[in-house]
Structure 1
Amino acid sequence: MTEAILLAGGKGSRLRPVTLRTPKPMVPAAGVPFLAHQLARARAAGVTHVVLATSYLAEVFEPYFGDGSALGMRLTYVTEDRPLGTGGAVRGAADALESGPADPVLVLNGDILTGLDLAGLVRGHLRAGAAVTLHLTRVDDPREYGLVPTDGTGRVLRFTEKPQRPEEIVTDQINAGCYVFRREVIDTVPAGRPVSVERETFPGLLASGALLHGVVDRSYWRDLGRPACFVQASADLVRGVVASPALPGPTGEYLLMPGARIEEGAVLGGGTVVGAGARIGAGAVVEGSVVLDGARVDEGARVHASMLGAGSYVGRGTTVTGAVVGDGARVGAANELDHGARVWCDARIPDAAIRFSPDC
Structure 2
Amino acid sequence: MQDVEAVVLVGGKGTRLRPLTLSAPKPMLPTAGVPFLAHLLSRIRAAGVGRVVLGTSYLAETFSAHFGDGAALGLEIEYVVENHPLGTGGGIRNVAKYLTTDNVLVFNGDVLCGTDLGAVVDTHRRTDADVTLHLVRVQDPRAYGCVPTDESGSVLEFLEKTEDPPTDQINAGCYVFRRSVIESIPEGRPVSVERETFPELLLAGAQVSGHVDNAYWRDMGTPADLIHGSADLVRGVAPSAALPGPTGESLVLEGAEIADGALVFGGTTVGRGVRIGAGARVEGAMLFDGAVVGEGAVVEHSVIGAGARVEEGALVNDTVVGDRAVVGAYCELRRGMRVWPDVVLPPHGLRFSPDV
Q: Residue by residue, what CA displacement relative to the aligned partner does 1:93-149 show, whole Å, maximum 9, x if unpaired? A: 2222222xxx21001111111110001111110111101100111122222222101
| Alignment-derived partner of residue 112 in structure 1 | 111
**Structure 2 equivalent of residue 130 of structure 1:** 129
Structure 1 segment 124-273 matched on structure 2, within 5 A: 124-163=123-162, 166=163, 169-273=165-269
Alpha-carbon distance, 1:324 to partner: 1.1
What is the CA RMSD across the aligned residues, in angstroms?
1.5
Q: Describe the SS at the equivalent of 1:195.
A: coil
1:88 maps to what in 2?
90
TM-score by length of 2: 0.95
| Mapping of residues 68-79 of structure 1, within 5 Å | 68-79=70-81
Q: For residues 214 and 23 of structure 1, do their structure 2 counterparts lie closer, same or farther at Cα, with a shift above 3 Å needed? A: same
> Aligned letter for 1:303?
V
Aligned amino acid, residue 106 of structure 1: L
Q: For 2:157 and 2:207, how far apart are their aligned partners in 1?
A: 11
Report Cα offsets for 1:278-330 as digits up to 9, x if no partner.
11122111111111111111111100111111121111111111111122222
Question: Aligned partners of 2:228 and 2:85: how far apart in 1?
Answer: 28
Measured after TM superposition, the shift of residue 264 of structure 1 is: 2.2
Amino-acid identity (%): 61
Q: In 1, Cα distance between the equivalents of 2:95 and 2:331?
A: 47
Q: Runs in 1 of length 4+ with deviation above 4 angstroms? A: none
- Partners of 1:43 and 1:18 in 2: CA distance: 32
Q: Secondary structure at the match of 2:149?
A: coil
Contact 2:14–2:221 at 8 Å: present in 1 too?
yes
Could you tell me how far apart the structure 1 residues matched to 2:185 and 2:308 are?
A: 44
Contact 2:15 2:220 in 1 (8 A): no
Cα distance in 1, alignment partners of residues 280 and 337 from structure 2: 20
What's 1:330 paired with? Answer: 326
Residue 353, structure 1, aligned to residue 352, structure 2: no
Q: What is the CA-CA distance between 1:18 and the residue it aligns to?
A: 4.4
State the AA in 2 paired with 1:274.
Answer: V
User: Once the 2 structures are TM-superposed, how far is the Cα of residue 19 of structure 1 from its aligned partner?
Assistant: 6.2
Residues 17 and 324, structure 1, Cα contact 8 Å, conserved in 2: no
In 2: Cα distance, 1:83 partner to 1:19 partner: 24
Distance 1:20 1:82, change over 3 A: farther
Cα shift at 1:44:
0.4
The answer on whether the counterparts of 1:15 and 1:225 sit within 8 Å (CA) in structure 2 is no
Query: Would the aligned equivalents of 1:265 and 1:283 in 2 still touch at CA under 8 Å?
Result: yes
1: CA distance between counterparts of 2:196 and 2:22? 30
Amino acid at match of 2:117: L
For residues 18 and 134 of structure 1, what CA distance do their matches in structure 2 show?
A: 34
**Distance change in 2, residues 1:19/1:11 (3 Å):** farther
Question: AA paired with 2:58?
Answer: Y
Q: Distance in 1 between matches of 2:265 and 2:16?
A: 26
- Distance in 1 of aligned mates of 2:57 and 2:325: 26
Deviation at 1:9, TM superposition (A): 2.0
Query: Which ranges of structure 1 fall in alignment gaps of 5 or more residues?
Result: none
Letter in structure 1 aligned against 2:44: A
Which consecutive residues of structure 2, in runs of 5 or more, have no partner in the other structure?
A: none
Given that residues 18 and 25 in structure 2 are in contact (C-alpha distance below 8 angstroms), is that contact kept between their aligned partners in structure 1? no
Which residue of 313, 316, 319 corresponds with 2:315?
Answer: 319
CA distance in 2, matches of 1:186, 1:329: 46
Equivalent position SS for 2:202: helix
**Is 1:47 matched up with 2:49?**
yes
Q: Deviation at 1:20?
A: 5.4
Confirm or deny that 1:28 pairs with 2:24: no
